[in-house]
Amino acid sequence: MEDIFEFDIAVRDSRVSAGAARSARGGRTRPPGDGKELAAGEAIDIYHWAAVALVTALMCAVLGYAAGTPALARAANVTSLVFGVAGGMLTASGIVRRLRARLTATGAHEPLTVSVAETR
C-alpha cells in the first residue's frame, strides 16, 4: 500500500515493458503509452468476440423493452437482432474453424479409399 502514491513505478514499468516488447518484435519501436497489440501471427479469440456480441444483443433487447417510445424500442430491437446474428455467426465460424483444425490434425480430410471388386 505504500507504493500507491509512487508514480515513478508506473513510468519505470512501462519503460521496461516497452524495451522487452521492442526486443521481442525485432527492434521495432512504438510510442510509449501505446496499448498492447496483437502480434501478426497471434490468433484472435473468436469466442470472446462472439460473447461480446451476444451480451450486446441482450443489452439492446433490454433497452428496447425499457425504451420510452416505439421508435426507440424498434431501433434497439433491430440493433439487438443485428448483434445477435453477428454473435451467432462468430460462434458458428469458431466451431467450424475448430472442426477443420481437428480434421486436419487427424488426417480425416483425406478421401476414403474403398477397395472395389473387379468384375470379369
**Chain segment 21-73, per-residue pLDDT in tens:** 555 555 555 555 556 665 665 667 888 899 999 999 999 989 888 888 889 88
CA dihedral 47, 53, 56, 60 (to 10 degrees): -140
pLDDT, position 26: 56
pLDDT tens-digit map of 76-114: 999 999 999 999 999 999 999 888 888 888 876 666 677
Going by C-alpha positions, the residue among 59, 57, 58, 49 that lies closest to residue 91 is: 49
pLDDT, position 44: 73
d(CA 110, CA 91) in angstroms, rounded, equals 26
This prediction has a pTM of 0.53
pLDDT, position 23: 53
The domain ranges of the chain are 46-106
pLDDT, position 102: 86
